[in-house]
Amino acid sequence: MNKLNEQELTKRNIVQLLTQLINAYQNIRTERQEIAIQFPPKDEEVSLLEELELFTVNLRGYASQIQSTGQIVNQAQTIEQLQAMQVLNIPQIGSFYFGTNGNYEQIKSYIRTLDYLRLLLLEYLQFQSD
């Protein structure tokens, strides 16, 4: 497969994943409500759900730009940000993910899908920069 076809396939996967995430977000409403109660923010800390929201908004924004225009403004900066944005390295998300054995599987699946989208976005942008 040539580079252009691979890039187009990656773009198609990004768009498909974006749609999946939007639907999944609706499906995790009950778990989000439970998490808001079970994992309140400590002191002035950003809550687990707020961290997840920030991560989601950033990735959805990048994916939407690729969906509509096929590119992202400030590509080099975006690649750096995506490389640094490892969802399980965010303290609240990582401790929740690894500390709630067998619980909240829908949210955990959502988190994995978000990270997969991040990796696809990186791959797509690296195709463009080659």
Q: For 52-88, b where at least 16 C-beta lie within 10 A, e where not — what string?
A: beebbebbbebbeebeeeeebeeeeebbeebeebebe
For the stretch 12-59, pLDDT in tens is 999 999 999 999 999 999 999 999 999 888 877 889 999 999 999 999
pLDDT in tens, 60-110: 999 999 999 998 988 999 999 999 999 999 998 999 999 998 899 999 999
How much is the pLDDT for 125? 93
The torsion defined by the Cα of 34, 36, 42 and 46, in degrees rounded to 10, comes to 140
What pTM value is reported for the model?
0.90
